[in-house]
Amino acid sequence: MRALTRIVFSFIACVCALFAQTQAQAETYPSKPIRLIVSIAAGSVTDVIMRAAAAELQPRLGQPLVIENIGGAAGVLGGRACAQAPGDGYSVCVIYHSTMSFNPLLFSNLSYNPDTDFIPVARLFFLVEGVFVSNDTGVNSIAELKALAQSKPTSLNFATLGEGSYPDLSLRWINNQWNTKIVGIPYRGGGPAAQALAANQVQLTRFGVGNFLGLLQAGKVKALTVSSAQRSPLLPEVPTFKEVGWGDFPGQGWWGIAVPKGTPPEIVARLSAEFQKLFSEPKFTDFLRKQAVVPAVTDPAGFVAFLKQDRADAQTLIRIANTPKSEFKE
C-alpha cells in the first residue's frame, strides 16, 4: 500500500513539475529567435507580407522572426518541415490552401498529416487572384485566350506551384472546361512564375495579383480577370471571374499560421493574439490591400471551422478538375 502511495505521489509530483515547467516556458516565451517557415519562394507576395509582419512583430515579441523559405511542390516541402519541427513555440509555419485542404485529398503518400501534425493559430488573409498572360500571346480577354488555346491546344504553357497546387488545379479545370491540353510548368512561388510569364517562358497562369503589380504597371504582362467579388481598385479595368463566366469556380486562395503539434496552449494563444492584433490594425490592413490581398484574420477556433469548409471546397474543385489521387514525387 505504501509503495502504491509513493508511486501515486511521484506521478503527481512529475505532473506538477511538468505543468510548472510549461507555465515557466510560457511566461518567458520567447527567449530566443523564432523560425518562421514560409511555404513559398522569396519575393512572392506572401513572402513580402510575412517579412513585413516579422519586422512589426519583433519589438512586440522581443525576439526576431527568422524567415526560412521552403517553397514549391504544392506546399508539401514546407508542410513536412513544419510537421518535423519541435512543438516548442520556436517554429511557426505559414500555411495555405494546398498545405491543409488540397494535399491530403490529392496525395496518397503525404509526408505529414494536416489534421494531427499542426495546431491552427490564425487565418491571416485571402488572396485576390488573377489570370495573367504574356504579351506575346496577343490576347486581351478570356474569350480570346480560350479561342487561342482551342486553336493551339498543346502549344501553351501555364505556370504552377507543382502537381496538385491551386494553380495546377486551376489549369486542370481550364483544360476540362475548354477541352484543351495546356501544359503545366512548376515554379517555387508567384515571384518566379511572374518573371517567367514576362519572359514568355510560360504564356499564362493564375496567381495572387500582388505578384504581378510591378509587371502590370510596366506593361510587361496582361491581366484578364480577377477572383474578387467586385473589381479590384488596383485593377479597375479588369473584369471579375463572374463577369467573364467563371462565377462557379469553387474555393479561394488563403494563407494562415500554424505551429507543430505539442506546442503549449499558452504559446499558441500568445502567438494568435499577436498575429490577430497586427493583421487587424488599420495601417497594416492598408498595407495588405496594397498587396492585393483581403485581410481576414481569425482566432484558432475560427480557423479550425474555416478549414473544415475549405476542405469541402477543395473536394469540389478536385472533382470538377477530374484529378485522381496519386503518389507525391519530389
pLDDT band at 252 (very low <50, low <70, confident <90, very high): confident
Please name the residue ranges forming H helices in 116-186.
Answer: 142-151, 166-178
Domain ranges of the chain: 31-127+252-320, 129-226
Residues 6+ apart with CB under 8 A from 170: 206, 249
Q: What is the Cα–Cα distance from 157 to 166, expressed in whole angstroms?
A: 16
pLDDT at 302: 98
Tell me which H or E stretch contains 83.
helix 76-84
- Domain boundaries 31-127+252-320, corresponding CATH code: 3.40.190.150
Domains 31-127+252-320 and 129-226 share a fold: yes
Q: What is the largest CA-CA distance in the chain?
A: 87
pLDDT at 321: 80
Tell me which H or E stretch contains 94.
strand 91-96
- Say yes or no: domain 129-226 is CATH 3.30.230.10: no
pLDDT at 300: 98
Q: Is the pLDDT of residue 326 over 90?
A: no
Instruction: Choose among 19, 72, 88: nearest CA to 191.
Output: 72
Q: Is the pLDDT of residue 233 over 50?
A: yes
- Computed over every residue of the chain, the mean pLDDT equals 90
Q: Per residue in 40-70, pLDDT tens?
A: 999 999 999 999 999 999 999 999 999 999 9
